[in-house]
Amino acid sequence: MNKFEILRKVCGPFLIVLLFFGNCKSKQESLIEEIQELIEEEKYEKGTELLKNYLSHPRSDAEILSKEKPESPRIVELSSDRKRLVFVEDNKLTIRDLNEAASESRKLDEIPASVAVSVKANFALSEYPMANGCRLLALSLKDDSLQYESGAQISCRNRGGISDDGSKIFYFVDNQLYEEKTVEPRTPKLVLGKEKIAPPFPNLKSRFYLYPIGKDFLLFSGNAGSYTLYYFQPDKKIADKIDQEVISPQLYYGPDNSAFYLGGTIGRLHLRRVQYGKGKPTISKLFTVSRKEINPWKLSAKNEFLSNYSGKVHLWGPMRKSQILPLLCERTWVVHPERVLCETESGSLYLTGLEFPEDDWTLMKLYEEIRSK
């Protein structure tokens, strides 16, 4: 056996391995090449479908919470510090402690129309549809210590609340706010008359929304893109007006006892911040926002926000250019520790980080390019 044959027998297997890895491409690289070929062949529909499937699918490091699309719209609620997640899929309720990566699920007797959680999401007030309105059920999300059904029949248009210790619920009847202890006998009490939480246009059919901030609440009153914001203190049974010209009653909890909502007028939207935790909350009118920025989840970085619009996720801020992240979500939330909770068009629900490989950015760019064809 000559030297060449000995070298071939010894090094041959290593050369094959090196050749294999030299030609091995990542899933993203192969997809990029395939999409580029489809663009050259003007097969835009197929290319769009492939990219949409990839960008909608959870990455390998994502945490999948649910794969099945429920029959009813999924209800998602966060504690005010965004560390506890509650979501309802039909009659299945799941509680997720995001710091401890622990989940617990339970079956509900019926499918709720809505769920409102306490400030730490240890308790919930759920509404169940009836022939004429909704009935209320208060329950503990920690254990079986509370399951209380109110005798009230209320409008399903409003959002009530529950105290952080689960001892009281709050709900609206005939534009007035009532308080009820979660023990028998049922003793509802009028807390605020309609004149104390008046909407901007009293002659319109109004809607009311409660959001917990510590032991107190923020209360939105209004309709048709025009709301007044009140600071409601249950212990003192008073409500102070703290803002007006509010566009939407949707509240987005942020870091450090802050929350965000939209103010202004139709066609001229302003982001507003409410800072709470020490006495009466303070309101800051920040800056004008576009339609792509109408559901502002605050990130920990200064002046950075994340929003969802038309199935795409936007990273934006007043001092930076808006950037479309390489993932497709029908709805998004930002949780702590800082991750995106994504609900896809197919109905899956998963958690993912905000760091993406370069190839994913390339694929998102291709997706935008091919959809414009």
In this prediction, residues 268-284 reach a mean pLDDT of 95
Helix (H) or strand (E) holding 18: helix 3-23
For helices 27-40 and 44-56, angle between their N-to-C axes, nearest 10 degrees: 160
Q: What does each C-alpha distance from 11 to 2, 6, 19, 21, 318 come to in angstroms?
A: 14, 8, 12, 16, 59
- Category of 253 on φ-ψ map: left (φ > 0), alpha (ψ -120 to 50) or beta: beta
For residues 97 and 86, what is the distance between their CA atoms, to the nearest angstrom? 9
Tens-digit pLDDT profile for residues 221-265: 999 899 999 999 999 999 999 999 999 999 999 999 999 999 998
- For residue 284, the tally of other CB atoms under 10 A from its CB is 11
SS in 3 state form for 128-144? EEECCEEEEEEEECCCC
The pTM for the full model equals: 0.89
- Residue linked to tokens 């192969």: 30
Instruction: Indicate whether 201 pLDDT > 80.
Output: yes
Helices (H) and strands (E) in the chain, counts: 4, 28
Instruction: Indicate whether 72 pLDDT > 70.
Output: yes
Least confidently predicted of 39-43, 44-48, 276-280, 328-332: 39-43
Please enumerate in sequence order all residues whose Cβ is within 8 A of that of 278, keeping only pairs 6 or more positions apart, or say none: none
Under the banding of pLDDT at 50, 70 and 90, the label for residue 37 is confident
For residues 116 and 126, what is the distance between their CA atoms, to the nearest angstrom? 6
- Category of 121 on φ-ψ map: left (φ > 0), alpha (ψ -120 to 50) or beta: left
3-state class (DSSP) for residue 309: strand
3-state class (DSSP) for residue 314: strand
Residue 190's φ and ψ, nearest 5 degrees, are: -70, 125
Tens-digit pLDDT profile for residues 159-174: 999 999 999 999 999 9
For residues 131 and 108, what is the distance between their CA atoms, to the nearest angstrom? 19
Who wins on pLDDT, 13 or 79?
A: 79
Tens-digit pLDDT profile for residues 300-356: 998 899 999 999 999 999 988 899 999 999 999 999 999 999 999 999 999 999 999
